[in-house]
A = this chain, B = another copy of it.
Amino acid sequence: MPALDLTATTVELTRQLVDIESVSGNEGAIADAVEAALRPLSHLEITRDGDAIVARTQLGRDRRVVIAGHLDTVPVNDNLPSRLDADGILWGRGTADMKAGCAILLKLAAEVTEPALDVTWVWYDHEEVESSLNGLGRIARTRPDLLAADFAILAEPTDAEIEGGCNGTLRVEVRTRGRRSHSARSWAGDNAIHSAAPILALLAGYEAREIEVEGLVYREGLNAVGISGGVAGNVIPDEAVVTVNYRFAPDKSGAEAEAYVRELFAGYDVTLTDLADGARPGLDDPLAQGFVAAIGSDARPKYGWTDVARFSALGIPAVNYGPGDPALAHADDERVPVEHIERCEAGLRAWLTSS
């Protein structure tokens, strides 16, 4: 079994984690390594749930924070093992999303034995695949007691800045119908692809809104992410489907967002295929304000949906804070600056020891 050395630098620990391949569904080895590294630490109470590890301090503090990261990655594409270049950039699958974050959590879990608030450290599985498999979601359903807390931090890549809340997301299929005919006698049919013209025109002309929620400005988006139609090269098609993705600010619920899209495409056959509520930034919470003050940077809005929404659904204010550029998260040239790792580690350590 690959072993993790918690006395190594956090950059070295990141490399050790990155070099244990853990594409979603294959987190067994890395979870074993994390568990084995933590078991000897007497100040932590360890729980294993599938391939997720929960490590809790039990110091009787009156407040508790959950600090979480996922152990899985999207598929490797010739970008392992890791490589540290002369400019202080660590390259490889999982460096940004999000093993540098996981390494910081491991390092601080081991070294901050007497934090100012109780900490629940979580490393979990299946974040990069369909939502129903998500390890954090599984624990929230089956062991919600393990996640009980007053505040949560998710170490997703944020360029080492605090990003509050997240936009919600939904997908609908907007469908047109027509009547088939041979294309040599097209007037005998009714072309469903032609009928999709107003849908695309609406999307092309849509002005995305910017909405302020608790001091952060969330930018929305309404986009076709897929289109299909056609029976054969000589047939007038009787159906076309436009798949539309709406990213909506956390001022509205998923149900409100769905109603908005249904009204926008009134007259078409609209089928909801995917819906995830957003998360309000929670920055009116004193714990969150203390965290922002300790890190010393302004909070920004998070546009992409992240698991902070799972904490939000449990009533726990949550922010994203981690090393790495989110835009590189799934890129083949995924990488993380050493400076980000050091800055996030120092920020979290300062807050945990001073709160």
Residues A304 and B237 in contact in the complex (CB < 8 Å), given A200-B200, A201-B197: no
- Asked if A234 is an interface residue, CB under 8 A from chain B, the answer is yes
Residues A235 and B228 in contact in the complex (CB < 8 Å), given A182-B304, A204-B195, A304-B182: no
Of A4-12, A28-36, A64-72, A216-224, the one contacting chain B is A216-224
When the two chains form their complex, are residues A187 and B233 in contact, meaning their CB atoms are under 8 A apart? Answer: no
Expressed in whole angstroms, the Cα–Cα distance for A230 and B244 within the complex equals 11
- Nearest chain B CB to A220 CB, angstrom units: 9
Q: Which residues of B contact A327 (CB under 8 A)?
A: 182, 185, 188
Closest to A223 in B: B186
Q: How many interface residues does chain A have, given as a range? A: 35 or more
When the two chains form their complex, are residues A233 and B226 in contact, meaning their CB atoms are under 8 A apart? Answer: yes
Q: Which residues of B contact A191 (CB under 8 A)?
A: 203-204, 223-224
- Asked if A229 is an interface residue, CB under 8 A from chain B, the answer is yes
When the two chains form their complex, are residues B226 and A229 in contact, meaning their CB atoms are under 8 A apart? Answer: yes
When the two chains form their complex, are residues A230 and B226 in contact, meaning their CB atoms are under 8 A apart? Answer: yes
- Nearest chain B CB to A235 CB, angstrom units: 6
When the two chains form their complex, are residues B221 and A225 in contact, meaning their CB atoms are under 8 A apart? Answer: no
When the two chains form their complex, are residues A227 and B225 in contact, meaning their CB atoms are under 8 A apart? Answer: no
- Nearest chain B CB to A291 CB, angstrom units: 23
Q: Which of B171, B187, B304 touches A208 (beta carbons < 8 Å)? A: B187
Q: Which residues of B contact A231 (CB under 8 A)?
A: 225
Expressed in whole angstroms, the Cα–Cα distance for A196 and B171 within the complex equals 20
- Asked if A169 is an interface residue, CB under 8 A from chain B, the answer is yes
- Asked if A247 is an interface residue, CB under 8 A from chain B, the answer is yes
Expressed in whole angstroms, the Cα–Cα distance for A6 and B291 within the complex equals 96
Residues A227 and B227 in contact in the complex (CB < 8 Å), given A185-B303, A187-B221: yes
Closest to A229 in B: B227
Q: Which of B197, B208, B225 touches A197 (beta carbons < 8 Å)? A: B197
- Asked if A243 is an interface residue, CB under 8 A from chain B, the answer is yes
Expressed in whole angstroms, the Cα–Cα distance for A305 and B234 within the complex equals 10
When the two chains form their complex, are residues A171 and B227 in contact, meaning their CB atoms are under 8 A apart? Answer: no
Expressed in whole angstroms, the Cα–Cα distance for A231 and B227 within the complex equals 10
Expressed in whole angstroms, the Cα–Cα distance for A240 and B204 within the complex equals 14
- Asked if A63 is an interface residue, CB under 8 A from chain B, the answer is no
Q: Which residues of B contact A120 (CB under 8 A)?
A: none
Residues A228 and B225 in contact in the complex (CB < 8 Å), given A200-B196, A245-B183: no
Q: Which residues of B contact A171 (CB under 8 A)?
A: 233
- Nearest chain B CB to A252 CB, angstrom units: 16
Q: Which of B167, B219, B223, B227 touches A228 (beta carbons < 8 Å)? A: B227
Beyond the given A191-B204, A197-B203, please list 19 additional residue pairs across the A-B interface where CB-CB is below 8 A.
A169-B183, A169-B234, A182-B304, A183-B245, A185-B221, A186-B208, A186-B221, A186-B247, A187-B208, A193-B225, A193-B226, A194-B203, A197-B200, A197-B201, A225-B233, A226-B229, A227-B228, A230-B243, A233-B274
Give residues in A with beta carbon < 8 Å to B.
167, 169, 171, 182-188, 191, 193-197, 200-201, 203-204, 208, 219, 221, 223-237, 240, 242-243, 245, 247, 274, 303-305, 327
